[in-house]
Amino acid sequence: MHSFVSPIISSRQIAAIAIVLAAVSPARAQTTPAPFVAPFSNVFISVGTFYIDANRLNEHFARSDLLLQVPPKRTGFDAIANHGYATGIGGYFPFGRVLFGGEFQYADLGSESSPTGKTNQLRTTYVLGQVGFAVWTGWRFTLYPILGVGGGNLTLTLKDRTGGASLPASANPTFDDVVLSPGAKSDMTGFYVLVQPGIGFDYLVLRNDKDHVGISLGVRVTTAISPHRTTWKYMGNEVFGGPDAGPTSSSIRLSLGIGGFRLGGK
């Protein structure tokens, strides 16, 4: 069973920093004599860490109640990891100091293969609409708190090397029914709502100060909040008794893209 990898910055710290930056920025703009430099637009690809709440999910693979039966029975599935890496694409454009954008991310939490010939794999995709505020800007950089709201889907794939019984497509099973009878392969999908506050810094690499478009390098520190319980489906049918397994904790992402002031219509 994989152990949880502690994030560098806690969720509360990230949310607090983002709120403070957004609150002090109007005062900073009034007291700073330097002229305001409009943020640049940015389109990027990114890679970074990703975490989910796998504790309740793994409880269904352990199924301690099955061990009380005679003879002892087990699901045969090992605990799945709660951490992995996410890759994606995104971008934003400015309207004054306000940044409007979005992201699409894909994360693979990996697969576990047990000695009994059973494999479980967990993947997810999610989409966010985002709004940020350029607290500190220059011709080559932008520092901003950002808030994303959207949703995503988990895909849990269960495989049995020996095949075996599987559930009919017309069934409205419990989550444990599918775990105990996956057949050769079964997929369950779980939908979650995601709120993601964070802080970002992007740097624009220009050949000289007369250029308006260049390569952007960025870093974002975010935290994931899933306010609603994950809802699961099996072959399009509702699954009962499924665990909550949404994204959680803080993550760090690095980005590489193209940024510039011409992309914002200038």
pLDDT (tens digit per residue) in 129-142:
999 999 999 889 99
pLDDT tens-digit readout, 182-222: 989 999 999 999 999 999 999 999 988 788 899 999 999 99
Q: Which residue is associated with the tokens 């559930």?
A: 167
Both tokens of 201, joined, read 């810094």
Q: What is the pLDDT of residues 55-101, one digit of tens each?
A: 999 999 988 777 666 666 778 899 999 999 999 999 999 999 999 99
Instruction: Report the mean per-residue pLDDT for the chain.
Output: 85
Residue 164 zone, left/alpha/beta (φ > 0; ψ -120 to 50; rest): left
Q: How much of the chain is in helix, strand and coil states, percent to nearest 5?
A: 15, 50, 35
Topology (CATH level 3) of domain 37-264: Porin (2.40.160)
pLDDT at 109 over 60: yes
**Amino acid letter, 248:** T
Alpha carbon distance 93, 96 (integer Å): 10
Select, from the ranges 8-12, 247-251, 262-266, the one with the highest average predicted confidence (pLDDT): 247-251
> Could you tell me the pLDDT band of residue 37, with boundaries at 50, 70 and 90?
confident
Can you say how many angstroms the Cα of residue 197 is from the centroid of all Cα atoms in its chain? 12
Instruction: Identify whether 71 is preceded by a cis peptide bond (ω within 30 of 0).
Output: yes
pLDDT of residue 74: 76
- Per-domain boundaries in the chain: 37-264
97: β partners:
none
Q: By CB neighbour count within 10 A (0-12 exposed, 13-18 middle, 19+ buried), where does 118 fall?
A: buried
Adjacent-strand bridge partners of 107: 86, 124
Cα angle, residue 106 at apex, residues 101 and 111 outer, rounded to 5°: 160
Write out the H or E segment, with its range, that includes residue 7. Answer: none
Q: Is the pLDDT of residue 33 over 70?
A: no
Q: Give the pLDDT band of residue 52 (cuts 50, 70, 90).
A: very high
